[in-house]
Amino acid sequence: MFAQRNLTVNQWILVIIILCIPLINLVFLLVWALSSTENESVRNFSRAVIKLHLILIGVTVAVFIGLGGSLAWIGSNEPTGGTGSMNSFLSLSGGSETESHIQFGNIVHRANMGITTISGETTNTDDQDHSYSAIITFYDSNKQIVGTGMAIIDNIGPGQTKTFETITTDNLENATSYKADVDSIIY
């Protein structure tokens, strides 16, 4: 985070002070909690605050462990998804899939902070309005499924093209092809 930015001396001092405040607070709380000369209510309060600190630290560590690879982008200049930059799109081979007068095309995905956004276009070639759900399945070079996404397209008129977008936590870095299908037609 700081590797791409030059901080002034004042900014570095401010960062150090902000990072040290909880540590200094914890030291004073420990001294009060273990002191035999302090009032009993002060010691009990100090112990309660220390327990709260430990719980918050535990929850924070659990969240970071739970996110796992989602935080791999922190401190790294490498783009996710191998796409050239953090927000660029990766086009995949797959062409346009057609089912009951509904076509899909221009399906791309991009990864950012552990969330993959899938975008594409769909065209209604029928002579009536439709609303439907679509499933986009991504495959690797061995034709194994590496991820899926679902989008709802609402009220698309005859001959109309709409863009859709959905998110997934699946890692689509190894995706080489896709298949887009209509899951269910609402009307």
Query: Residue 50 — very low, low, confident or very high, per pLDDT cuts 50/70/90?
Result: confident
* Exposure on the CB side of residue 161, measured as CA atoms within 13 A: 6
Q: What is the pLDDT of residue 46?
A: 76
pLDDT tens digits, residue range 16-26?
777 777 777 77
- DSSP readout, 44-55? HHHHHHHHHHHH
- Please check whether residue 104 is in contact with residue 120, taking contact to mean a CB–CB distance below 8 angstroms: yes
Collect all residues with Cβ–Cβ distance below 8 Å to 148 and sequence separation of at least 6.
135, 136, 137, 138, 168, 170
What is the reported pTM?
0.48
pLDDT, mean of residues 100-123 = 84
Question: Which of the pair, 35 or 73, is modelled with greater confidence?
Answer: 35
Query: Residue 114 — very low, low, confident or very high, per pLDDT cuts 50/70/90?
Result: confident
Does the pLDDT value for residue 70 go beyond 80? Answer: no
Q: What is the pLDDT of residue 10?
A: 76
Question: Which of the pair, 84 or 176, is modelled with greater confidence?
Answer: 176
Does the pLDDT value for residue 123 go beyond 50? Answer: yes
Q: What is the pLDDT of residue 112?
A: 79
Does the pLDDT value for residue 90 go beyond 70? Answer: no
pLDDT tens digits, residue range 139-183?
888 889 988 888 888 888 999 999 988 888 888 888 888 888 888
Apex 2 CA angle, 73 and 16, nearest 5: 125
Q: Which of 115, 119, 125 is nearest to 106 (CA)?
A: 119
- Please check whether residue 85 is in contact with residue 79, taking contact to mean a CB–CB distance below 8 angstroms: yes
Q: What is the pLDDT of residue 66?
A: 66
Q: What is the pLDDT of residue 5?
A: 53
